[in-house]
C-alpha cells in the first residue's frame, strides 16, 4: 500500500490496520451510473481492488456492482456512506461485515510449454479443477474458478511452467441464505 499524496491512505493512524471488504451495490441499470461510482472512488483517493458489474434483474432494470476495496475501518465506513448517498443506488451491502457471503472469481490463463512443463501444467490444472478451454501443440488456455486466493495460487504455480497471459473477471459475490439483497 502506497502513501501517495492525495490518497486517503496517507492519513491513516498507525493503530488502524487496513482491511479488505467486498461490497455489493444494487443500482439502476442506466448510462453513467458506473462512472459516478468510479468517480466517487477516484475523487477521494480510494482504491478498487476488483470491480464487476452486470445486470441482475432485466425487468426492473437493476444491476449489481461488486467492489472489493481496502482501507481502514473508518475509510470503509466513509466509502459505504458516500455510496449510499449517490442517487441511482438502491442499496449498499458490505458482504464482509455480514460475514456470510460466497465469493468467486474466474480467470483464464494462457500457458505455453512442451514436454515435462506441459505435463506438469496439466497435472496442476487437474488438481485445481481448472478446465482446458483451448489447446494446441504448444499452448493451453485454462479456465479456473474459485476464491481469489485459489486463483492467485494457480497463477503463481503456472508462472514457471510458461505462463503467457492472464485475464480475470474480478470477484462476484452474493450473501448466503434465502433472503435477497435489500433494495
* CA distance linking residue 32 with residue 28, whole number of Å: 10
Model's pTM, two decimal places?
0.81
Fold annotation for 8-99: Alpha-Beta Plaits (3.30.70)
Under the banding of pLDDT at 50, 70 and 90, the label for residue 1 is very low
What does the pLDDT average to over 43-61?
91
Cα 112 to its chain centre, rounded Å, is 26
Which CATH superfamily hosts domain 102-175?
ACT-like. Chain A, domain 2 (3.30.70.1150)
Query: What is d(CA 33, CA 35) in angstroms, rounded to the nearest whole number?
Result: 5
Q: Residue 48 is placed in which grid cell?
A: 478498487
Identical fold, 8-99 and 102-175: yes
Q: Which three cell numbers stand for residue 172?
A: 462476484
Domain ranges of the chain: 8-99, 102-175
The model's pLDDT over 111-125, given as tens digits with 9 standing for 90+, comes to 999 999 999 999 999
Instruction: Give the whole-angstrom CA distance, residue 66 versus residue 33.
Output: 13
* Mean pLDDT of the residues in the chain: 90
Amino acid at each position: 500500500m502506497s502513501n501517495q499524496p492525495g490518497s486517503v491512505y496517507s492519513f491513516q493512524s498507525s493503530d488502524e490496520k487496513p482491511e479488505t471488504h467486498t461490497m455489493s451495490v444494487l443500482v439502476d441499470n442506466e448510462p453513467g451510473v458506473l462512472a459516478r461510482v468510479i468517480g466517487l472512488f477516484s475523487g477521494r483517493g480510494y482504491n478498487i481492488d476488483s470491480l464487476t458489474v452486470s445486470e441482475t434483474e432485466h425487468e426492473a432494470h437493476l444491476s449489481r456492482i461488486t467492489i472489493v476495496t481496502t482501507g481502514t475501518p473508518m475509510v470503509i465506513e466513509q466509502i459505504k456512506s458516500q455510496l449510499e448517498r449517490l442517487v441511482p443506488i438502491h442499496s449498499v451491502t458490505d458482504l464482509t461485515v455480514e460475514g456470510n457471503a460466497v465469493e468467486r472469481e474466474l480467470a483464464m490463463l494462457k500457458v505455453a510449454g512442451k514436454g515435462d512443463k506441459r505435463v506438469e501444467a496439466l497435472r496442476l490444472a487437474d488438481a485445481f479443477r481448472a478446465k482446458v478451454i483451448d489447446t494446441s501443440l504448444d499452448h493451453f488456455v485454462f479456465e479456473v474458478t474459485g476464491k481469489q486466493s485459489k486463483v492467485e495460487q494457480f497463477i503463481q504455480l503456472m508462472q514457471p511452467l510458461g505462463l503467457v497471459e492472464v485475464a480475470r473477471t474480478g470477484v462476484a459475490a452474493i450473501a448466503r441464505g434465502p433472503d435477497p439483497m435489500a433494495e
